[in-house]
Structure 1
Amino acid sequence: MNSSNQRVGVLALQGDVREHARAVEACGAVAVPVRRAEELTGVAGLILPGGESTTMDKLIRAFGLAETLREFIAGGHPVYGSCAGMILLADRITDPAIDLKGQPQQTLGGLDITVRRNAFGRQRESFETDLEFTDLTDAERPVHAVFIRAPWVEELGAGVQSLAAVRIDGAERAVAVRSGNLLATSFHPEVTGHGESPGELRVHELFIRMMKQEA
């Protein structure tokens, strides 16, 4: 894939920043850490990494990035959120964390979904599984997905497509969704590598194809 002219911003406040950057570079694109509003200039798309969603919310507000990021998303730029990034992209959270002032955590929004935080359980309930995932290259080969304190999608709005799901207690729960230029996964494709190998790259490849308007 010729993606050498693609600059992908990775929000670099907390979470799996290095792992996402490594996956982007392995796809032939250029990863750009984003900590300030001006660093969004010149990037073709943005990744909101996995991490801790409440901490990321606080840091986004502390760094004065919330409005700039919302404008970037509303402007139609491609954005991919993994795990905590999915929560940040969601319009609604069923169980938002409440801070010491009684204020619920905020999202950036843009993706018409309702998510449940830590839906699969706490850290000790983290697990791995293989998923059928549509829209990927070599889509017949399953994606090995790592779920760490992961959310799931409880409600999809109009125009939101489920790309992958898991069956829990007899119900299908969407764990990868797309709406236009917005892509989100409950799981962490960026952490499936071993050593210097970036592991599963097809989700990042899909995102870069979205940036190039090829998907």
Structure 2
Amino acid sequence: MNHGLRIGVLALQGGFREHRDVLRRLGADVVEARLADDLHGLDGLVIPGGESTTIMRLARLYGLDRAIRAFPGPILGTCAGMIVLDRAHLGMVDVAVDRNAYGRQVASFEADLAVVDGGSPLRGVFIRAPRVVDVGPSVQVLATLDGDPVLLREGRVLVASFHPELTDDTRVHERFLDLVREGMHVGA
């Protein structure tokens, strides 16, 4: 069902391998993107967790910041990827976040997340995770933790405070691939 979808995973730093592996298990053709030219011909892009300052520094150095802003397909950003996409950085999703707000590395945890549409709880892994402190009017909250939004969508951009690639639950990646397929039909 996902065969033929070319998905790029930004492979500058952080947990790109885990996203790559989940997307491949779901049938996507995955490309590790390190340069701006690597984004050409992709149907979707994932910006993984890691260290947001390092990711932004390398993205600027390699011209990826401009290339990501110009990328026409759906984008999934997790943890540091959410920070990279927020209004203070690339400005691609109208959220403000507080970096590392869920605690230091030693305070990492897993929790069941409330899915807004009433589906079964989603398992979230939080590692130095950002907390969403403000949500713009066009942003849809998809899942929460103790009332705080942790999975959100604005148009073609999906962001998560947590690491969905570190659990066996593939629903976040499946939702992202659904966005990619929807975008392909709209663009056709």
Taking structure 2 as the reference length, the TM-score comes to: 0.93
Q: State the match for 1:190 in structure 2.
A: 165
Is the CA contact 2:22–2:170 (under 8 Å) kept in the aligned structure 1? Answer: yes
Question: Could you say what secondary structure the match of 2:137 adopts?
Answer: coil
1:127 aligns with 2:109: yes
Question: Residue type matched to 1:115 in 2?
Answer: V
1:179 aligns with 2:154: yes
Question: Residue type matched to 1:25 in 2?
Answer: R
Q: Distance in 1 between matches of 2:51 and 2:66?
A: 20
Is the CA contact 2:114–2:145 (under 8 Å) kept in the aligned structure 1? Answer: no
1:159 aligns with 2:159: no
- Offset, 1:132: 2.1
Kindly indicate which of the two structures has a greater share of residues assigned to helix. Answer: 2
Note the 1:46-125 alignment, pairs <5 A: 46-72=45-71, 75=72, 77-92=73-88, 107-125=89-107
- Offset, 1:64: 2.2
Q: Distance in 2 between matches of 1:85 and 1:164?
A: 17
- Offset, 1:141: 2.2
Flag the structure with larger Rg: 1
Q: Distance in 2 between matches of 1:133 and 1:78?
A: 21
Is the CA contact 2:97–2:133 (under 8 Å) kept in the aligned structure 1? Answer: yes
Q: Distance in 1 between matches of 2:136 and 2:34?
A: 30
Structure 2 residue ranges without an equivalent (≥5): 184-188
Question: Residue type matched to 2:155 in 1?
Answer: G
The C-alpha deviation readout for 1:50-70, integer Å capped at 9, x for no partner, is 111111111111222111111
Q: State the match for 1:207 in structure 2.
A: 176
The C-alpha deviation readout for 1:152-181, integer Å capped at 9, x for no partner, is 1111101101111112xxxx2111100111
Taking structure 1 as the reference length, the TM-score comes to: 0.82
Q: Distance in 2 between matches of 1:189 and 1:26?
A: 14
Q: Give the root-mean-square deviation of aligned CA atoms.
A: 1.3
Question: Residue type matched to 2:8 in 1?
Answer: G
1:15 aligns with 2:11: no
Q: Distance in 2 between matches of 1:83 and 1:34?
A: 18
Q: Distance in 1 between matches of 2:12 and 2:85?
A: 16
